[in-house]
Amino acid sequence: MCFSPTASFIAGGALSVAGVYTLKHAEKDAQIPFAAIPLLFGLQQIVEGFVWVTFDKPYFHTAVTYAYVMFSHVLWPAFLPFAVWRLEPDARRKKWLAPFVFVGCVISATLFAYVLQGPVESMVVGRCIAYSVPLPDVPFGLWAYVLATCGACFASSRKYVRVFGFTLFGSLGIAYWSYREAFYSVWCFFAAILSLIVFVHLRQKTERA
């Protein structure tokens, strides 16, 4: 798959439109965080489009690089398990999901501290963007990130959330083994496209109503 500013802007625009739709058709307050996922991924992809086109503008490029990393490294570990927890109707499963939210918040706070220390840089590797973040050399650190994001989806009682989680985990394998240097960028791109599962689910619910 070829990645480019065009791919980022097109994906970002489509996801933003889908995200506005899902938010508009969220029937309950508890659905709002999960319904916001396509829109947030859309904004993230638009930011990466600006990362692509600003290599000749150092100050702007640094700003959008930091903005992208705030999405990829800081937002998702806490927000995704929180969205799944908030959506969960089953009281027992909600208790199971609480530890994922806690782990995700710890990961997000830790990564936020390291991102603030900097420097955070981006570079083109092949046809992808690779991000350099001064992360601690912690054993299984990536898998803690995966546990918080994918694990919460696996524990949900809602089928479409579990489908989203399993496809998200599958895309992780593809991104890690095929694009290791640009892993976060490629995985987030796949995850962004997969977030259309949320859009499809809410659209089908609206059509059945």
pLDDT tens figures, 155-185: 999 888 898 888 888 888 777 776 666 677 7
Cα separation of 168 and 80, whole Å? Answer: 12
Domain span holding position 114 = 5-208
The dihedral through the CA atoms of 33, 38, 43, 44 has a sign that is positive
Residues 35 and 202: beta-carbon distance below 8 Å: yes
In this prediction, residues 182-194 reach a mean pLDDT of 74
| pLDDT tens, position by position, 50-83 | 999 999 999 999 999 999 999 989 999 999 999 9
| pLDDT tens profile 127-147 | 888 888 888 776 567 788 888
CA distance 173 to 192: 15
Quick one: which of 67, 76, 69, 17 has its CA closest to 42? 17
Query: What six digits make up the tokens of 32?
Result: 């709002």
Q: What is the pTM of this model?
A: 0.86
- pLDDT beyond 90 at 99: yes
Kindly state the helix (H) or strand (E) to which residue 195 belongs, with its residue range.
Answer: none
The arithmetic mean of pLDDT across residues 35-41, rounded, is: 90
End-to-end CA gap in the chain: 38
Is the backbone peptide bond immediately before 119 cis, with ω within 30 degrees of 0? yes
132 three-state secondary structure: strand
| In the predicted structure, residue 209 carries a pLDDT above the cut 50 | no
pLDDT, position 181: 67
Residue 199 has pLDDT above 80, yes or no: no
Mean pLDDT across 5-13 = 89
Average pLDDT over residues 114-124: 90
pLDDT at 180: 64
**Total domain count, the chain:** 1
